[in-house]
Chain A
Amino acid sequence: MIKGKGISKGIGFGKIFILEKRDRKIQKKNVENTEDELKKFKEALNEEEKEIEEIIQQSSIKEKEIMNAYLMILKDPTLIIETENLIKNFKYNAEYATEEGFNKIVEMFNKINDDYMSERAKDIIDIKNKIIDKIFGEDNFNLKKLPQNTILVAKELTTSETAKLDFENVSGIITEIGGVNSHTAIMARTHSLPFVTEIHNIFEVFNNGQYVGLNGKTGEIYINPSKEEENKLLNIQKLIEEENDELKEYKDKDTKTKDGFKVELVANIGIPSDIEKVIESTAEGIGLFRSEFLYMNSEKMPTEEQQFLAYKEVAEKMQGKPVIIRTLDVGGDKEIKYLNLPKETNPFLGYRAIRLCLDNIEMFKIQIRAILKASAYGNISIMIPMISSIEELRKTKKLVEECKKELEEKNIKFKEDIKLGIMIEIPSTAIMAEKFAKECDFFSIGTNDLIQYTVAVERGNEKIANLYSQYHPAVIKLIKMAIDGAHKEGIFCGMCGEVASDSKMIPLLIGMGLDEFSMNSNKILQTRKLIGNLDKKQCEKLIEKVENLESSSDIIKELKNFFE
Chain B
Amino acid sequence: MKTKKVILKNESGLHARPASEIAKIASKYQSTINLIVNGKTINAKSILNIMSAGIKFSSEIEIQCNGEDEKSALLELETAFENNFGE
Contact = CB atoms under 8 A, between A and B. Distances in A.
Given A108-B52, A109-B52, A76 B16 contact: no
Contacts of B16: 69, 116, 120, 299
A76 B16 CA distance: 13
Interface in A113-132: 114, 116-117, 120, 124
Given A109-B52, A112-B54, A117-B52, A73 B47 contact: yes
B3 interface: no
Contact of B51 (A120, A299, A300): A120
Interface string B48-66: 1101101000000000000
A116 B48 contact: no
Nearest to A109: B52
Contacts of B23: 72, 76
Interface in B52-83: 52, 54
B43 A77 contact: yes
B49 A78 contact: yes
A299 B46 contact: no
Contact of A77 (B17, B46, B54): B46
Nearest to A301: B87
A114 B13 CA distance: 13
A536 to B, nearest CB: 54
Contacts of A112: 52, 54
Contacts of A78: 43, 46, 48-49
A479 interface: no
B41 interface: no
Nearest to A305: B86
Contact of B47 (A76, A108, A117, A300): A76
Contact of B45 (A77, A117, A124, A299): A77
A187 interface: no
A116 B13 CA distance: 13
A399 interface: no
B20 A76 contact: no
B48 A105 contact: yes
B15 interface: yes
Interface in B10-25: 12, 15-17, 20, 23-24
Contacts of A124: 48
Interface string B1-45: 000000000001001110010011000000000000000000101
Given A108-B52, A117-B51, A299-B15, A72 B20 contact: yes
Interface of A: 69, 72-73, 76-79, 105, 108-109, 112, 114, 116-117, 120, 124, 299-300
15 contacts: A69-B16, A72-B23, A73-B47, A76-B47, A76-B48, A76-B49, A77-B43, A77-B45, A78-B43, A78-B48, A105-B52, A108-B48, A109-B51, A300-B12, A300-B17
Across the A-B interface, the 10 shortest Cβ-Cβ residue pairs: A78-B46, A78-B49, A78-B48, A76-B48, A108-B52, A77-B46, A76-B46, A72-B47, A77-B45, A112-B54
